[in-house]
Chain A
Amino acid sequence: MDLIQLFLAYAKTGIKTRFQYHMDSFLLSFAVFFREASSIFGVYFLLLKFDTLGDWNIKEIFFMFSIISATYSLFIMFFMVFRDFPDWIKHGDFDRILLRPRGIFVQMLLNGADWVAALSHGAISVLMFIVSANSVGIRWNATNILYYIVTIISGTVIQGAIFVFFSAFNFYFSKNHGIKEFVFWKSRRFATFPLSIYGRVVQNILMFVIPFAFVNYFPAQYLLRKSDMAAYPAYYMYLSPVIAVVSFTIAYLFWRFSLRYYQS
């Protein structure tokens, strides 16, 4: 209850701050929206030419895309601070967190959501969901709805874990935008397409190193049952929550451990 109150207090000021500059926020949300939309158009035109991509048709790929956008939208509501962590350290904002009588990690989760971006990604995901959800042959019964909700939560947590893990390196080196750029942004793009179209090395990376495959590919497989799933063990479709818990635990412990090297 108390944490919800704290989250609302942060959210109120966060949104207020953003909308001090109506025009800026307005344009920024459009920019984010169109950047994401442009990559959707990329996929669209590609599939106009080929019809399917490794047995996946355009609606199914849109459905997968909606999962990535939805989880990413939630991700930036809670894990924004970890994304921008180098700046937080540089500007002394992290000192401020240490000076307040609340859990360090909790403060970071509840504080500093990028509402404009979260809303833009959320809008994309809802749009993609509306376009695809009813035409890809999913029966939206109770089990599947529950599965979908668990998928969204797990996907958010998995992406959070990736960022928490890499932000911990900032305690040792003040800058690591390079790793993050490669690891996160590029692999998020990879996750736009079905895993099975990639080579073995990329597949393994997306499954076991930066587990994006468990954010959208395997969950989508459970709902869509495509033929390329035959290449992977069937239980992978149920593994996302486990991956989420395990990866987040590892990331959290590593982050807590690294905190002692903080130099302010």
Chain B
Amino acid sequence: MIAEFLDLAFISGLMGATMRMATPIIFAALGEILTERAGVLNLGIEGIMLMGAMTGFVFTYSSGSIWFGVFAAACVGMLLGFLMALLSVNLGLSQHVSGLGITLFATGLAMFIYRLHFGSPTVPPIIQPFKQVALPVLSKIPVIGPGLFTQYTLTYIAWLLVPALSILLYKTTIGLKIRTVGENPVVADTVGVNVALTRTLCLVAGGALMGIGGAFLTLAHQNMFLIDVIGGRGWVAIAMVIFGNWNPLKATIGALIFGFLDGLQLRLQSIGVVLSFHLFLMIPYLLTIIALIGVSRRAAVPAGLLKPYRREEKGG
């Protein structure tokens, strides 16, 4: 038994699974960091991911082009991000409630459109999913190479997006504007930054990332759309954002921990370790809650988060 744990193929496989299972969380968490840094908590994330998963699948199924599916998922994510902006930024409604409203609406809509398109077939329709790509040289590194560097293209893109978002937020003028809008919209407005526009653009861009994160699940991880395909991963991403103190790199570490547990659970099942997989699936959620307890003391919450901004009510 111990020998099986230490088996190189097992370790390599587990590393690969960790990366795969972390990918949708990374996409979604990066999208959420972008919106929360601009001062908007987007609880629509779970629904946007489901719409992304459904749209990506349906467009890939109809067009035969998997990248077209990814593109469509991003577009739907942007549309829903824009709807969130209309409600929470332009109209200044409660971010909690507008986000949940988007999730409920998008969840219903995703299932409705899927049924409309496919009816209720006895065998769920499938697509030809993404293939894993082995990076030259890197994938030849002993032990870690085959697992870490034989991944889906979307996973590589997720890796690249982490430093990209960090640079955007911390090293550019645009990033400074975004963070100012999130920290103190009154100051941002005074120095001439368009608060509503900045928040809207962040929600739209963040929505695209969430949509792609959802599409990863139906286009790479699986090859079909199931109603519970997201299974709370959007909420996990939100928790990872808090866990990672609104920092892309730290949130990614959280996503990797989740990916590791998710991957380990699948691996242990496949080598026949007898344990209730439900108890195992519970661990990421419990860990997240425990992490939240630790984080809440030193949380670097953007000060403007949850506060709608209306010019007439400065300081209110």
A and B: real partners?
A: no
